[in-house]
Amino acid sequence: MEHYEIIIIGGGPAGLAAAVGAREAGAENILILERDRELGGILNQCIHNGFGLHTFKEELTGPEYASRFIEQVEEKGIAYKLDTMVMDISGDKIVTYMNKKEGMRQIQAEAVILAMGCRERPRGALNIPGYRPAGIYSAGTAQRLVNMEGFLPGREVVILGSGDIGLIMARRMTLEGAHVQVVAELMPYSGGLKRNIVQCLDDFDIPLKLRHTVTEIHGRQRVEGVTLSEVDENGRPIAGTNKFYSCDTLLLSVGLLPENELSRELGVELSSVTSGPVVDDSLATNVEGVFACGNVLHVHDLVDYVSEEAALAGRHAAQFVKGKEEKWKGGKKKVPVIVENGVRYTVPAFINPKTMEKEVTLRFRVGAIYKNAFLSVYLDGSRVIHRKRPVMAPGEMEKVVLKKEWLLLADGLKNITVKVEEA
Amino acid sequence: MERKLTCIGCPLGCEVTVELAGEEVLSVTGNTCPRGEAYARKEVTSPTRIVTTTVRVEGGMLPVVSVKTKSDIPKDKIMDCVRELQKVTVKAPIQIGDIICEDVAGTGVSVEATKNVKMDN
């Protein structure tokens, strides 16, 4: 059976940065498996700018950002297969894949990096009653159709959900000549970045209706309109607030879900909060030699942070292959990160103070909007971070950086606690 | 005259009010930091944006290629820019950085490709 040191599942931003990180840390024999016809993943359809401010100190579009990493992969001679679908990963790291040229094949890895990304929550998950007419798209599907396939999916558009892709598509459809009537958001706040609300909605006078949802989709063959209703604090439609919007297209931007079917079958422990693998500070899962990074781990706002996280996973996978990682044997020494009061989760969820790098970045989201609150980190009883934040919102990922020396100094450390403390 | 804006400097998203006499900014209120004032002054006097869109491709692996204005252009030229680019067709192959249009909508700004598109075999 063909053998690789590291097999990376997915050639999007996470997979590419993981491959580069692994090569730079000394791994020689790396293979990326990608199901699309080209490398780059979702970046290829994100033609707007704003990518790379942290990584490259300039504002790039999605395809430009991807190409920077694709060039590095090519220069370093890292192997990849396109149009290739991974069907299974076994506990002893045999990867089964299929493509048109080779049929079904099995290859052996010493380490596997999960970088499959996420997918959009579909209509079926929303329980909107009505028929199933043509004209209902997830925002990302519409984005691919417009930006890569050259089709405009509709002319009169209503968008449900104010996630960033929905906002970006409100602008994109407008520029292409469609009329975007309204963006409806169930929550009392948008899940998208402020900058996108201003530059994608306000710039084009597109109204954002908070606390509103679609309660009926009209039309049998093609969407003929939708009914929007205001909702109460429990998200239930309020009687008498129905309003009909005549439209031929409904875009859904209602959340992203890490795509972990392969991980689940492999026996990787998944978090019920993120739907992604539970990992330690080296981004290792509970299955020895299996690492995870990018949106398959938890959904990010900025690709820059995906690249950073993925490079870390690549580095640790390379060290694992070289036998430098001893922490699996000493797994009991890991210190759990406990989340309280407003902090929903952290990635990583465990830290090994002895084997961690000089610092570890904990990334997480809060569960509500907090103004002038503090982000605090406790090592058992003692507070090591108490940082004032003017505002925190579920739509913007937060982070704290822990130093190795702090953790080593805390004798017999049992728990690390991250929480929001109000002033 | 009064104009209300949402600052995009940070997630706080301050509602900033700008008092104007013609082109002249009399006051900026509602911002919590200096970035808010700088943003508001620029937005009311000369708002600009980078524009990204696609143009048609002949003989390529993809039917369209993504493009961007090389620098920001006046906000009120966005639609003119996009309409002009809708009429443009380019031939594959295309490299990132290839100039698609020299002076879009009279702004003096050129438009360049942001994706490599190979020829269709």
What confidence tens digit (pLDDT) does each residue in A160-170 have? 999 899 999 99
User: Which CATH number fits the domain that encloses residue B108?
Assistant: 3.10.530.10
Q: What is the ipTM of this complex?
A: 0.89
Q: CA triplet A366, A370, A376: central angle to 5 degrees?
A: 65
**Which of A316, A187, A304 is closest to A253 using CA atoms?**
A187
* Strand ranges inside B7-93, DSSP E: 15-21, 24-29, 48-49, 52-58, 64-69, 73-74, 89-91
CA distances from A183 to A98, A204, A256 (A): 40, 12, 18
Among B13, B52, B61, the residue with its CB nearest the CB of A194 is: B13
A59: closest chain B residue by CA: B50
Q: Using CB atoms, pick whichever of B5, B10, B63 lies closest to residue A150.
A: B63
Tell me the nearest-neighbour CA distance from A289 into chain B, angstroms.
Answer: 35
Say how many residues make up chain A: 423
Same domain, B56 and B93: yes
CA A84: distance to chain centroid? 22
Question: Considering the domain boundaries, does residue B119 fall inside one?
Answer: no
Angle, helix A164-175 to helix B78-86, in steps of 10 degrees:
70
Whether B96 sits inside 8 A of A63 (CB atoms) is: yes
Is B93 inside any structural domain?
Answer: yes
What are the tens digits of pLDDT across the range A217-261?
999 999 999 999 999 999 899 999 999 999 999 999 999 999 999
Residues in chain B closer than 8 A to A199 (CB atoms): 8, 49
Count of structural domains within chain B: 2
Claim to verify: residue B22 and residue B38 sit in the same structural domain: yes
Assess whether B66 and B99 both reside in one domain: yes
Tell whether B101 and B56 lie within a shared domain. yes
Could you give all domains of chain A from N- to C-terminal order, each with its CATH number?
1-119+256-325 (3.50.50.60), 122-254 (3.50.50.60), 331-423 (no CATH)
CA distances from B81 to A167, A168, A273, A422, B104 (A): 21, 18, 44, 48, 6
A337-356 burial, b at 16+ Cβ within 10 Å, e below that, comes to bebeebbebbbbbbbbbebb
- Rounded Cα distance between B121 and B119, Å, is 6
Amino acid, res. A373 = A
User: pLDDT class for A326, splitting at 50, 70, 90?
Assistant: low
- Mutating which of B14, B32, B62, B66 best tests the A interface, going by the most A Cβ atoms within 10 A? B66
| pTM of the predicted protein model | 0.92
Nearest CA in chain A to B5: A198
**Residue contacts between A and B (CB atoms, under 8 Å):** 81
Q: B26 vs chain A: nearest CA distance in angstroms?
A: 23
Residue B37's domain comprises: 2-45
Helix or strand holding residue A111 (H, E): strand A103-114
Residues B12 and B62 in one domain: no
CA of B21, closest CA in chain A: separation in Å?
22
The yes-or-no verdict on residue A395 having pLDDT over 90 is no
Looking at per-residue pLDDT, the higher value among A312 and B33 belongs to A312
Examine the domain organization and report whether B109 and B56 are in the same domain: yes
Do B41 and B56 fall within a single domain?
no
